[in-house]
Amino acid sequence: MADYHDVVVVGGGGAGLRAAIAVAETNPALRVAVISKVYPMRSHTVSAEGGAAAVAAPDDTLDEHAYDTVSGSDWLCDQDAVEAFVAEAPRELLRLEHWGCPWSRQPDGKIAVRAFGGMKKKRTWFAADRTGFHLLHTLFQTALSYSDIVRYDEWYVTKILVDDGRAYGVVAIELATGRIETITANAVILCTGGCGRVFPFTTNANIKTGDGMALAYRAGAPLKDMEFVQYHPTGLPFTGILITEAARAEGGWLLNKDGYRYLQDYDLGTPTPEPVLRNMELGPRDRLSQAFVHEMEKGNTIDTPYGPIVNLDLRHLGAKLIDLKLPFVRELCSKYQNIDPVTELVPVRPVVHYMMGGVHTDIRGATPLEGLYAAGEVACVSINGANRLGSNSLPECLVFGNRAGRAAAVFAARYHREVPSSIVAQGRDEARRLAAELGRRVEGHQRIADIRTEMQATMENGAGIYRDGDSLTKAAHELAELRLRFRHAGIDDHSTNFNTELIAWLELGFMLDVAECIIDSAALREESRGAHQRTDFPARDDERFLAHSLVRRQPDGSSRVGYLPVTITRWPPGERIYGR
Ligand SMILES: Cc1cc2nc3c(=O)[nH]c(=O)nc-3n(C[C@H](O)[C@H](O)[C@H](O)COP(=O)(O)OP(=O)(O)OC[C@H]3O[C@@H](n4cnc5c(N)ncnc54)[C@H](O)[C@@H]3O)c2cc1C
């Protein structure tokens, strides 16, 4: 038996819940399912700290937000998507306010906004430094008020069902029982978030394993701009836990081993008329992470058991401001690093934070595979191009979650509630495959954890902050070997209740696909742009590469990279200088 819903949303984070609400709002007659491998409030959105960008102040304009985003992306974003994004972001944040989101306010009661890296005006709305928690909570409680939204909490999606070039639903496992179900639908919206766990040091939660990217890729939808991986300059060294950019927005300094604010020696492209933004620590994330590598090469970083670090100094901000604006930073430092930022320096290093690339969609969230939509970090619309500006991602989840939900609702309503018989057969085949895997006993098998650790090291060494042809070729060979070993990875736990080993195996399979797409796309882009820095091709090359990469899976399982022109509406490619 298959469960039927008109629209299936995979993912219960910011994008998924916003999409589900949009479907319910657009057409109350539709049945919507939200499937999530964790309880929705545990989605990674909950850990967003700094804020959400949208024009609010009277001296700010949509054009300025658009321009900052375009130049921040190193001109690789699609400008029609950016124009839609900046226009709809303020409406989305206001709607959230009406649904109950407690945005921080100025003393006069107006919405408070803070500065964020690469934005030349203050336009980042925040709820102290727990923005993601409040945003997700608001969406969750709003979703609860729609009885047509049915939730599959702690269900894991393993496959998208496709017939004749159209998506008709998914196969999912109920984690508590091991029950495998075919869940059919006329439209599927992927909102499964990013894939930071492909790398060893990351701010991303353990659940961010690129499942949705690999699901779409295997179903025949292309992935776009996968070579662009954002490093955040300030993660805690061992855990990778994020110390939000808000800490630097509020005035924090980055110091090398001599206590020197080293960023003054680097070109961050941030001359700006506004004194508050003259703060060099608020340069764009890619440039700050690259400056760290140069300091390391000069011997100016501090060695620790968890790699080289620099220090973030918040002491001059004082306890009062830290407790008011950065309480979560203080809590994280105390709990996970055993230090108090009011009196001590915070050790930090660049860590993988965000995927600019993802499932290729148009500005309605539709992928080239009919019936399949995507929104949020799993998708590449693209507003982020080669480098995302901090605080653009949460509003992206809202704006494009809403758009994908609306488009999928209209699409699903056009069809009867019947799916081809081949879909049910495919669901049965997938259930058999999973059951066989669970029962398979492999002699002398390869360990999942070993392959995962080696894959992460391969990615950091081959496609880290700086890459070159040799490092990428080596990484491609190593990944091919890891894939062979993965075929012999066995599962020791043959039980059906909460079998986390089976899930780790499925996630590793998805991560190996995503890792290969990153490496192959990076190898072919022979230029440096935004987060993709090739030491063998240090300049941006608009003639050859002002284009999105699109990687597709071939029938033999290998990948093939092609290119798609970038959409330019009003801002021709220029030099990447902020604040002008
Ligand atoms: C620590 C941190 C701080 C951040 N701070 C900010 C910030 O201040 N401002 C900002 O704009 N951005 C920030 N970001 C980025 C932003 O939070 C994320 O890009 C965004 O929240 C992603 O939302 P999402 O809905 O796309 O995915 P997620 O919130 O990651 O949700 C993914 C969902 O998909 C589900 N899922 C995944 N795979 C499967 C599967 N196989 N089967 C079933 N369900 C599945 C998960 O259960 C989950 O519900 C931050 C990111 C991090 C990591």
Give 264-309 pLDDT, tens digit per residue: 898 776 544 444 445 788 888 888 999 999 999 999 999 998 889 9
**pTM attached to this predicted model:** 0.95
Which of 1.10.10.410, 3.40.390.10, 3.90.700.10, 3.40.50.2000 is the CATH number of 234-351? Answer: 3.90.700.10
Give the mean pLDDT of the chain. 93
Pocket lining: 226 vs ligand 1, CB cutoff 6 Å: no
Q: Alpha helix (H) ranges present in 271-312?
A: 285-297
pLDDT band at 22 (very low <50, low <70, confident <90, very high): very high
Of 35, 318, 19, nearest in space to 180 by CA: 35
475, 461 Cβ separation under 8 angstroms: yes
Mean pLDDT confidence for 392-398: 98
Distance CA 98, CA 562 (A): 44
Give 484-504 pLDDT, tens digit per residue: 999 888 888 999 999 999 999
Write the CATH number of the domain with boundaries 441-541. Answer: 1.20.58.100
Mean pLDDT confidence for 229-246: 92
**What atom in ligand 1 is closest to the CA of residue 53?**
11
The pairing of beta strand 187-190 with beta strand 7-10: parallel
Mean pLDDT confidence for 385-402: 96
Question: C-alpha distances in angstroms, 445 versus 165, 456, 489?
Answer: 37, 20, 5
Pocket lining: 14 vs ligand 1, CB cutoff 6 Å: yes
What local confidence, expressed as pLDDT, does residue 444 receive? 66
Per DSSP, the residues of 31-75 read -EEEEESS-GGGSGGGG--S-EE---STT--HHHHHHHHHHHTTT
Mutation choice for ligand 1 from 160, 382, 394, CB with most ligand atoms inside 8 A: 394
Judge whether residue 579 has pLDDT over 80.
Answer: no
| Residue numbers annotated as active site | 232, 248
Nearest protein CA to atom 8 of ligand 1, as residue: 50
What local confidence, expressed as pLDDT, does residue 577 receive? 64
Residue that has been written with the tokens 């939730």 in this structure: 151
Of 76, 50, 49, 79, nearest in space to 65 by CA: 79
pLDDT band at 189 (very low <50, low <70, confident <90, very high): very high
Pocket lining: 47 vs ligand 1, CB cutoff 6 Å: yes
Mean pLDDT confidence for 193-217: 97
Of 21, 422, 437, 358, nearest in space to 190 by CA: 358
Give 449-471 pLDDT, tens digit per residue: 999 999 999 999 999 999 999 99
Give 335-378 pLDDT, tens digit per residue: 999 999 999 999 999 999 999 999 999 999 999 999 999 999 99
For residue 207, report the distance from its CA to the centre of ligand 1, in Å. Answer: 9
Distance CA 557, CA 537 (A): 29
Distance CA 227, CA 195 (A): 12
Mean pLDDT confidence for 85-100: 97
Residue 421's H or E segment, with its range, is helix 421-439
Pocket lining: 37 vs ligand 1, CB cutoff 6 Å: yes
What local confidence, expressed as pLDDT, does residue 272 receive? 47
What local confidence, expressed as pLDDT, does residue 439 receive? 79
pLDDT band at 575 (very low <50, low <70, confident <90, very high): confident
Distance CA 530, CA 286 (A): 6
For residue 43, report the distance from its CA to the centre of ligand 1, in Å. Answer: 6
Q: Domain boundaries in the chain?
A: 234-351, 441-541
Judge whether residue 1 has pLDDT over 80.
Answer: no
What local confidence, expressed as pLDDT, does residue 385 receive? 97
Distance CA 7, CA 344 (A): 51
Nearest protein CA to atom 10 of ligand 1, as residue: 391
**What atom in ligand 1 is closest to the CA of residue 194?**
30
Distance CA 352, CA 283 (A): 17
| Amino acid letter, residue 144 | L
What local confidence, expressed as pLDDT, does residue 273 receive? 41
Q: Between 448-463 and 469-487, two packed helices, what is the crossing angle to 10 degrees? A: 170
**What atom in ligand 1 is closest to the CA of residue 51?**
8
For residue 19, report the distance from its CA to the centre of ligand 1, in Å. Answer: 14
Nearest protein CA to atom 44 of ligand 1, as residue: 36
Pocket lining: 401 vs ligand 1, CB cutoff 6 Å: no
Pocket lining: 15 vs ligand 1, CB cutoff 6 Å: yes
Quick count: other Cβ atoms within 10 Å of Cβ 208?
25
Pocket lining: 51 vs ligand 1, CB cutoff 6 Å: yes
What local confidence, expressed as pLDDT, does residue 106 receive? 92
Sign of CA dihedral 387, 390, 392, 398: positive
Cis peptide leading into 382, omega within 30 of 0?
yes
Judge whether residue 544 has pLDDT over 70.
Answer: yes
